[in-house]
Structure 1
């Protein structure tokens, strides 16, 4: 530019230069628009999946249609078990899978399984599972009501909610239930809180894992360009399959937990030590939980000022050895 006689800071004006800059700027803007448009296409896939998950989570959180969702989950799992077993023609695998998920022994015989259709077998398994589930709810109520009555009789004026542990033998969860409502419903409110808590927990767990898989998928489909394929089409197809698999796995986890979930036997007697007071929202440890095994509470241990640690006199290198030999310590 110096050779052309243009000084530093001088404004350059020329029609050819102006048009070149405009063309370059237009290309940059078109490229940015294409990037934003493509991102929106990727986001549309996630938004449709997010709508389904958030709808299920809302139903569990506010109790709306939770019973319907659970019945649908049980039916879908039963249908999947029957369909896979019928496709393989293996009655033993069918029995094992029913026991593993529903914790019941199927009433369907080998002959009925071989001759029956998927629809009929699914309906029979679903009906048996629902009956077992209702019996389980009644059993949990019979187990918890006596303890709840004791808690209400002793501290019903100051306690509103109680925290009750559940476990399927591998994982555990603690749910909070209204004490008075749980007694009035013969313990069914406890199981409703259990259903709500486990559905929310497993939905969140499955959704977080699914988001990580979707991020990996979004990166991997970019290589489809080298195969002369549209990455967004591949992304939509693979995302649908991932979402379908995630829902199926989540349904199995939820159904398995609610059918196998139990209150640990040793915990039912200590239910009174897991009470939640009315004022705070967070779970509060009771006085009984703050007492150490020796019977001394933390408050008693912490009372009074702590004495400073004093170091004892040390033997120097040239001092006499404390053994009484008369020699210097360093020797």
Structure 2
């Protein structure tokens, strides 16, 4: 997954909701689902069925589904299909406070603020009947690999790097060195137990929990998702166990401590997943108390320090709050003594027992779960309980294993336990890891192409930001645009009959805002393309110089930098979208015996050249039209007592009425008469050739230049 900086795009929530209502009407024959590759596509029958549904719903109104004008509709259908068939609630995401929040598959934690791209997140929102947020458009993108490679020096530390040593070496040129543990590891990692069905596996887990709890051994039951953790919790509840509510930590901890003191199993368990992340600190702090049972997702599988006997610092902070002096010292001593007693009991019971309910696709995640036990020389134990219905087993060839176990006469409730099974599972995980590595490596190869372009664009942008004036850059752009226009319509060394001077004149008007007699120039005897180019460039430079003089040089320099940067940002954003679409379809070139990567490099280079050329044209065209309107000073109105004579003045009310009547009779309401001889300032006349004389012009008023267009579509377009 790349790092993406995105911004809001157009709101298409109605379309997402309309298509989502049609997805439940699809049947199994309408789509092909490949869980191994995580892809889903409509079949031929499904395409016809979906087209009928779209027409009936009034969503498809123009032509067939796969006609060019309906490409966007096809994209929305595909994303809705992925949302319904590939992404599972409480596994890939969670719905919280009316929002779809992504769950990190490796840590089990929520990732608020992150959203899937290309409309997938909106499709999930429509699926879950929450408010569909506007689509995101990619503003910048980079893979993690290229992001890390921006640093001159790289290093890191983790407990599970050895399984990924090959990738570190190939991608980052980094060696992995194993550092010996501070104390010898005493944890016992037992062989996996494999059952035929998930129900048999859960029964075996419940039996194992009961046996471990009987001797007050603390237990951590690791699951792969929120959904699976809740399934285990429900199964234990059906066996008479009760979930502890850590919404009130004090009451919950008192129950745990009472059970630990009694030395009898309490049949209490805690659940730690993304739903209860606010209670994580309390649950983890006491997961090492004798007899504690904790069911957790990967949230407790990485970087979590579960201390046998409990966490002294947590208890002191909570139970000694408000105490001072001798009372606090006495309470701290009591807590430390109690934790030491609990630790001895937990060690005597065998230390923390890790029960894995399912293998992950990555061995690294399994090793992280095992690593919660046996820390700093403490004793511990770990074992995985698996079934052929687990995702890893089901997706990667469980049919052969199931038939093999039946032939071996495996009865219901019986498990197969052998080191060979562990090796076979590790090989399967290794294959999955290798496949995922190949995917990441392939993505990196394509991103390297974009990365080279990214470096050019960002370096150019930094240079522009650092420059006080971009006048020279703007002049070079204008020169390049003129040269490209002339070359396009008047090929070098071509006969005059091959010249398209009419099109050149049209483009000069459109891109340079110049109305020049180019057709007359072309009729001159002995004129060449270089002469026309020189005249066109001279006219463009003179026109722009006059514009700079009208707008003032200082203001023009500021406008130039703003236009150059805005045009670059906008075009780069569009370029990223085009490259992403190209990358998605370039694989089809392989059917023609062409290397998709080389094809992508070639196409991307042409697109980048087009981007740079378009940048020159956009900047030049905008600057050749920009005008600055200076707001006219407010008109000074005459004092109100001139218009309404004071009846209390000399002569009283009769005099005031007489004055008004005389003006009515004479029809004299001129500024001089109303203002007592003080002339009212009139707005100056607007000169069509001098925008500085126009004053404040409304956006919908006719443009003062006389073009006949509205101001917002003429000189006001870029103001």
Measured against the shorter chain, the TM-score band is: 0.5 to 0.7
Residue 126 (structure 1) aligned to one of 513, 531, 537: 537
- Determine if the alignment matches structure 1 residue 203 to structure 2 residue 607: no
Distance 1:114 1:84 in 2: 20
Distance in 2 (CA, whole Å) between partners of 1:40 and 1:81 is 38
Counterpart check, 1:268 vs 2:631: yes
Compare the two structures and name the one with the higher helix fraction.
1
Between the aligned partners of 1:103 and 1:111, the Cα distance in structure 2 is 23
- Structure 2 equivalent of residue 96 of structure 1: 506
Distance 1:213 1:246, change over 3 A: same
Residues 262-304 of structure 1 deviation map (CA, whole Å, 9 limit, x = unaligned): 123xx43269xxxxxxxxxxxxxxxxxxxxxxxxxxxxxxxxx
Equivalence for 1:42: 446
- SS class of match (2:419): coil
Q: Is residue 59–residue 66 contact of structure 1 (8 Å, CA) maintained in 2?
A: no
Distance 2:477 2:525 in 1: 22
Tell me if the contact between 1:218 and 1:235 (Cα under 8 Å) persists in the aligned partners: yes
Matched, 1:259 2:624: yes
Matches within 5 A, 1:11-50: 11-14=417-420, 20-21=424-425, 23-50=427-454
1:116 matched residue in structure 2: 528
Which segment is superposed worse, 218-227 or 105-114? 105-114
Query: Superposition RMSD on alpha carbons, in Å?
Result: 2.9
Q: Match of 1:260, SS? A: coil
Whole-Å separation in 2 of the counterparts to 1:4 and 1:122: 89
Asked whether the equivalents of residues 478 and 620 of structure 2 are also in contact (C-alpha less than 8 Å), the reply is: yes
Specify the alignment match of 1:174 in structure 2: none
Task: Note the C-alpha offset of 1:134.
Answer: 1.9
Summarize deviations over 1:97-120 as a string: whole Å, max 9, x none: 122222234476114597414x55
Quick one: distance in 2 between partners of 1:115 and 1:134? 26
CA–CA distance in 1 between the matches of 2:459 and 2:477? Answer: 14
Q: 1: CA distance between counterparts of 2:526 and 2:632?
A: 47
TM-score of the two chains, using structure 1 as the length reference: 0.58
1:220 offset after TM fit, Å? 1.4
CA distance in 2, matches of 1:91, 1:245: 23
Alpha-carbon shift at residue 206 of structure 1 (Å): 1.3
Query: With CA pairs under 8 Å and 6+ residues apart, which has the higher RCO, 1 or 2?
Result: 1
**Worse-superposed segment, 99-108 or 239-248:** 99-108
CA shift digits 1:68-122 (9 cap, x unpaired): 32122112111110011114511122122122222234476114597414x5543
Query: Within the alignment, does 1:248 sit opposite 2:613 as a pair?
Result: yes
Contact 1:89-1:114 within 8 A present in 2 as well: no
Shift in CA distance, 111/52, structure 1 to aligned 2, threshold 3 Å: farther
Residues 10-59 of structure 1: CA deviation (Å, up to 9, x unaligned): 53123xx5665555444333322221221111111111222222233223
Q: Report the Cα distance in structure 2 between the residues aligned to 1:230 and 1:84, rounded to whole angstroms.
A: 32
8 Å contact from structure 1 (residues 85, 93) kept in 2: yes
Alignment of 1:91-240 (within 5 A): 91-106=501-516, 109-111=521-523, 115-117=527-529, 119=530, 121-141=532-552, 188-240=553-605
Unaligned runs of 5+ in 1: 142-187, 272-331
- In the alignment, what sits opposite 2:369? none
TM-score by length of 2: 0.28
Alpha-carbon distance change, 201 to 226 in structure 1, aligned in 2, over 3 angstroms: same
Q: Say if 1:85 and 1:91, in contact at 8 Å, map to a contact too.
A: yes
- Find the counterpart in structure 2 of residue 175 from structure 1: none
1:114 and 1:99, CA in 2 relative to 1: closer, same or farther beyond 3 A? farther
What is the aligned partner in structure 1 of residue 477 from structure 2?
Answer: 73
Q: Which residue of 1 aligns with 2:462?
A: 58
Q: What is the CA–CA distance in structure 2 between the aligned matches of 1:260 and 1:67, rounded to whole Å?
A: 16
Note if contact 1:82-1:94 (Cα within 8 Å) is conserved in structure 2. yes
Aligned residue for 1:262, secondary structure, equals coil
Residue 258 of structure 1: how far off its partner (Å): 0.5
Offset, 1:9: 5.0
Q: Is the 8 A contact 1:222 1:231 kept in 2?
A: yes
Q: Which residue of 1 aligns with 2:287?
A: none
2:259 maps to: none
Task: Point out where structure 2 has 5 or more consecutive residues left out of the alignment.
Answer: 1-404, 492-497, 635-719
Equivalent pairs counted in the alignment come to 220
| Residue in 1 that maps onto 2:370 | none
SS of residue matched to 2:514: coil
